[in-house]
A and B are shown apart, each in its own frame.
Chain A
Amino acid sequence: MGRRPSAHGLRMKYTFILRRLLSVVPVLLIITFATFALMQLLPGGPLAAYENNPEISQKDIERLRHEMGLDQPIHMQYWAWLKNFAQGDWGYSFTTKRPVLVEIWDRLPNTLYLTGISLIVALIIAIPAGILSATRQYSLFDHITTTLAYVGRSMPVFYSGLLLIIIFSIWLRWLPSGGMHTLGKEFSLIDSLRHLFLPVLSLSTLIAAKYVRFLRTSMLEVIHLDYIRTAAAKGLSERVIIYKHAFRNAAIPLVTVVAIDLPVLFAGALFTETIYSWPGMGRLFVDAATRFDYSVVMGIVAAIAFLVVVSNLLADIVYAILDPRITYS
């Protein structure tokens, strides 16, 4: 498959990748500075919770402000953060006083577990469903799939999730309403899967609905192209035409969307995590933001920004593998 790239082409490829990687630096600078500035513009701060407590005197608040370095000018605080960050020191959380990396590391596996499985389940559902509903356009299957995709896409998780909990946990009592496993019990795979079921159902429905619609549209475009008709005229079986010739081309937009979604794996799914009390990254971020825990927020934002740039690059590379006509420039 594909042509063998020339030496010139290879060099082009590497300079392209290098250039794209270097572009991470200004992007990170802009995003982290904007985040930092925006957080400073908000009223309140890490010490806001202390202000309404008669037990804590103004003197104590001023002392803490100084000890935490919050009395420094904003640009100095940002510079201090940036300097440490560049050296791999992500700083300490203002509230838990633990290293930011430890905070993230504690949550990341939980989030990857949930989002990773959801993405795989979503693809398993979306790819065949998308292909079939395109090849059998206007069939009953197509109508059902399209309708479900619309419903799945437009029903927010904080609604559908609560509905699922009410049905499966409160009425039927089949599945637990939240958490990663039953507290106080030995770890067991079955228990873990039971807890995984509803969150994965919610999250993968949402993702699959989006992918089905993408795939259906691009399949429809492709199967009406001349080369597919040619392939059919050559007498190739429908199976080969659809999966080898049509799908390969129709998958390109899907690959882009999936690749761009990858940072979400890391960032976590806020609503799903909240409804099912899943201890993941999404909740860490929101908790940190509401507590004005600057260092944690900055750490997560920087990491996601980096991943967004990298995954976009990844999308472009995969793109070129799937479609040799695309060149790097």
Chain B
Amino acid sequence: MIKKGCALLLLFALVAFSFNPAASAEKTLTLGVYQEPENLNTYIGVQTVITYVHKPFAEYLIDVNEKGEYFPVLAAEVPSVENGGVSKDGLTITYKLRKGVKWSDGAPFTSADVKFTWEAIVNPKNLVKSKSGYDLIQAVETPDEHTAVVKYKEFYAPFLTRFAPVLPQHILGKLDNMNDAPYNRMPVGTGPFMVSEWASGNYIAMVKNPHYRDASKVKIDKLFFKFIPSREVGIAQLQAGDIDGVWDLIEAQIPMMENNPALALDLSTSLTSERLILNHSIPTPPNNGNPDFPHPILGDLKVRQALDCAIDRKAIVDKLLFGKAQAGASEIAHGWAANRDLKPVAYDPEKAKKLLDDAGWKPGADGIRQKDGKRLRLKITTTTGNKLREMVQQVLVDQMKKVGVEFYIENVPSSVLFGSWANDADRKKGRYDIMMYTTGPGIDPHQQFEGYFHSKNIPTEANGGSGYNYTRHRDAELDKWIDAGGKSISMADRANAYRMAQKRIYEIVPHIYLYQRLTVHGFRSHVKGYISNGNGIIDAVETWNIADWDIQK
């Protein structure tokens, strides 16, 4: 019996080992992703991976290139005041649409699709995640097939980022709602590829879209997005050659991959940055989170500035991020609204000590500063289970000790840290000293600036806990620049307003920017044609130019 079993196993092994399937002439590209998308409708689904997977088939009216500039995709040109696409009051946006575009089922793409996209998003039956901007549209007029006129009730500064992507009216228009529409798993798009199969838990397969306007240009024949349980498994499969690319690695995984000639790394600086968020209001009940009651330590600008220059960003980047990240300086790292005059705050422990002396915090017996019998002791909170963040925290504790500040670590799971007002989350209710996490603006920074930095967006009982001004700072000048950025129809004026807002943030230190996150993708070196792009309308994703990718063995 044993012999039989062994013989069977041996036979099985021989058969399995001896046949290596031959390479086929078709160019197949397999990309690994760690999450299975909930669906492929970005208006409903919330994960970043959806953006990554939907780029090959879904197209926007306007998209963003690697330099952070807008470029037309389904629109024929980027509307502006100069080319007559934007009215003087900024309320009417006229999109001239690209001609000869077809959906992957052969139906023509027209202005009716643009109109329908707006209708679908504001349709109360659809469980869309956000109606921002669309709820300010009064009407979408379609004077002809290739013109869509969008009329806003009030000026919406990030209007170029809407209609990303455009939905097919001839598919979804017939349905009562799109929540469980077949489209969400088997979408119809205008991009270079189309979804051909979705094997649940396994992969999403795409093939060339025969109706794509530049179909002859597309070099890849088949595209697979394979769902892989973790980054470690993803790297193993990449090394084994079972996948050609793996999405979204972390900085710490760079060194182990850099020396392998079969692999190539694609690094881009994202718009998000890891930061410290400093509570300006008292963290203890009953007045926690009320900006009228300042934080006993962090309420003082001098203390915030002292913390800022007590941090050795270079040491953190060099030691923990293998020199692969950039020290953080401001909210917008790159793109059209970045303020390039702002440099990372220099590491200067002597200046930090002097600022703390001036603020009245004198060194005590054990080296930790005191004022009126109170120790300079602050809690630093981040999400549990993130090794990099935990290491950064420990370095910060050390660096702070050198200037007489005591940081102590108390971390919570991300669902607790990022909980809602209804869930009584500490962040929403202002019960923290310092939080550390990553956030950042989209290519249009308005939502981020208004949400995180405008005084009207402090979460309170009265506004139902909406808004992201968790630091609870109130600064008239900052409000003024944010408002100016949201009101102007001139991109130059808007850019200037956001630059001034960044400068003001630099001065009043509600956030301390630690480092810019890198977006890291690993590829087999035979994959060619990708261009790093840290910018994006929804999320920055590498698949934005996948029509140009190739495989060269």
Contact = CB atoms under 8 A, between A and B. Distances in A.
Given A191-B21, A197-B12, A48 B418 contact: yes
B175 interface: no
Contacts, number: 196
A44 B415 contact: yes
Interface in B345-374: none
A276 B128 CA distance: 35
A225 B288 CA distance: 75
Contacts of B200: 103, 106-107, 279
Q: How large is the interface on A (under 10, 10 to 19, 20 to 34, 35 or more residues)?
A: 35 or more
Interface stretch (B186-194, B224-232, B248-256, B486-494): B224-232
A97 interface: yes
B201 A173 contact: no
A33 to B, nearest CB: 22
Nearest to B37: A96
Given A106-B201, A178-B242, A132 B224 contact: no
A106 B36 CA distance: 14
B54 to A, nearest CB: 15
Contacts of A180: 202
B323 interface: no
A45 B227 CA distance: 23
B227 A58 contact: no
B198 to A, nearest CB: 9
B367 to A, nearest CB: 37
Nearest to B36: A287
A212 to B, nearest CB: 12
Interface string A268-281: 00000111010110
Contact of B129 (A64, A190, A273, A291): A64
A56 B442 CA distance: 13
B237 A55 contact: no
B26 A184 contact: yes
Nearest to B415: A44
A309 interface: no
Contacts of B205: 183-184
Interface string A102-137: 010011001000000000010011011100100000
A219 interface: no
Contacts of B413: 43-44
Given A177-B242, A178-B237, A61 B180 contact: no
Contact of A179 (B226, B468, B538): B226
A277 B2 contact: no
A56 B129 contact: yes
B385 to A, nearest CB: 12
A267 B463 CA distance: 45
Given A173-B240, A173-B241, A197-B13, A52 B464 contact: no
A129 to B, nearest CB: 7
Contacts of B467: 58
Contacts of A62: 464
Given A67-B127, A169-B236, A173-B241, A57 B466 contact: yes
Contact of A55 (B8, B15, B130, B452): B130
Contact of B468 (A54, A103, A170, A182): A54
Contacts of A174: 17
A194 B16 CA distance: 5
Given A48-B418, A60-B131, A162-B236, A175 B226 contact: no
Given A57-B130, A183-B28, A43 B419 contact: yes
Interface stretch (B39-47, B57-65, B514-522): B39-47
A37 B133 CA distance: 38
A95 B242 CA distance: 29
A8 to B, nearest CB: 41
Contacts of B128: 60
A274 B230 contact: yes
A188 interface: yes
Contacts of B418: 48, 51-52
A232 interface: no
Given A107-B200, A176-B240, A190-B15, A60 B21 contact: no
A85 to B, nearest CB: 19
Interface string B440-463: 011000011001100000000001
Contact of A97 (B44, B230, B452): B44
A54 B539 CA distance: 12
B240 to A, nearest CB: 4
Contacts of A52: 418, 439
B486 to A, nearest CB: 14
B416 interface: yes
A13 to B, nearest CB: 34
Contact of A68 (B21, B127, B203, B240): B127
B423 A44 contact: yes
B439 A183 contact: no
Given A44-B415, A49-B47, A197-B12, A54 B448 contact: yes
Nearest to A293: B38
Given A176-B242, A177-B242, A98 B132 contact: no
B233 interface: yes
Contacts of B24: 184-185
A66 to B, nearest CB: 11
B180 A97 contact: yes
A107 B15 contact: no
Interface string B14-26: 0111010100101
A10 interface: no
Interface string B417-439: 01111110100000000000001
Nearest to B9: A121
B151 interface: no
B143 interface: no
A70 B367 CA distance: 51
B293 to A, nearest CB: 23
B129 A279 contact: no
Nearest to B184: A97
Contacts of B452: 54
A180 B203 CA distance: 10
9 contacts: A47-B420, A54-B439, A54-B442, A54-B452, A97-B39, A173-B240, A176-B242, A178-B236, A179-B242
Instruction: Report, nearest first, the 10 A-B pairs whose CB atoms are least far apart.
Output: A44-B415, A58-B466, A279-B201, A184-B28, A106-B200, A279-B202, A169-B240, A95-B38, A177-B240, A274-B229
Given A54-B441, A67-B127, A279-B200, 10 more contacts: A43-B416, A54-B452, A55-B442, A55-B447, A61-B420, A97-B180, A170-B236, A178-B233, A274-B229, A283-B201
